[in-house]
Amino acid sequence: MRNAVRSMAGVSTLANLASAISARAEEASIIAELKAGSEDAYAWLIAHYHQPVYGLVYRILNDPADAADTTQEVFLKVFRGMKRFHGEASLKTWIYRIAIHEASNQRRWWFRHKRRETTMESQSPDAEGQSLALKDTLVDEHDSPFECAAHEEIRGKVEEELSRVQEPYRTAVILRDIEGLSYEEIADILQISLGTVKSRLMRGRFALKQRLEAYAKEVGRDLGLNVAPVPSLEVGSD
């Protein structure tokens, strides 16, 4: 029995390895076509990454017009930089790194020049009419403050409070709990250590839970939630 289990585990490991090799080979082929200027490859790139990049940028900027402009700038940077991309990271990691960099620059510019302006555009759906709410099921629910996000009526509140969590902790929460990236991918994108990723994620989740605590208590009885008080958090700098 034990040998059979080990054999099955070995087959599973080999299957995962084969899948990973196949995925890397496919990505290498796409990158080669992108570098060669293939229109089909660029069309695939936009179709595959435009919505995820827009969603990521939107949650950093919290403004649909700025997010649309910044997303366009991200893909211009991707197109211009493709020939200099040598596979030091995965294509997804590289694109997300550019997206966060551009969104952060835009956010700094907004605080310097635009914070006194008031947008006249709706903050709810995007240009295609798709909701920008949190995913129905978050990737990592363990020790996460997002239990209430499953309820449609309070998703907007979660989004609102998430937008107010201080950087860089908000970005860590977005990348892990919304985008579903691994700790290793987040470390690669942000170019920080795994320990710093976990520290920022803990702080971001804690800050969001603090912001949601009063609201959760307010609606918890109707939703059948058992809301525990948020303990104090004492951690060193990352």
The confidence score (pLDDT) of residue 223 equals 56
Least confident among 8-12, 107-111, 218-222: 8-12
CA 98 from chain center: how many Å? 13
pLDDT band with cut points at 50, 70 and 90 for residue 206: very high
- For the stretch 131-165, pLDDT in tens is 444 444 444 444 444 444 445 666 777 888 898 99
C-alpha dist (Å) from residue 66 to 5, 61, 149, 159, 161? 53, 7, 25, 17, 19
pLDDT for 6 equals 53
Q: Tell me the domains of the chain and their CATH numbers.
A: 43-223 (1.10.10.10)
Residue 74 in this model has a pLDDT that exceeds 70: yes
Is 115 a residue whose pLDDT tops 80? no
Task: Give CA 175 to chain center in angstroms.
Answer: 3
How high is the pLDDT of residue 224?
54
| pLDDT at site 15 | 55
Q: Work out the pLDDT band at 233, boundaries 50, 70, 90.
A: low
User: Model confidence over 23-33: pLDDT tens digits?
Assistant: 678 888 888 99
Determine contact, residues 59/162, Cβ cutoff 8 Å: yes
Give 99's pLDDT tier (boundaries 50, 70, 90).
Answer: very high
Mean pLDDT along residues 90-103: 93
pLDDT tens-digit readout, 37-63: 888 889 899 999 999 999 999 998 888
Average pLDDT over residues 215-220: 72
Residue 58: HSE in the Cβ half-sphere, 13 Å Cα cutoff: 24
Mean pLDDT rounded to a whole number for the chain = 76
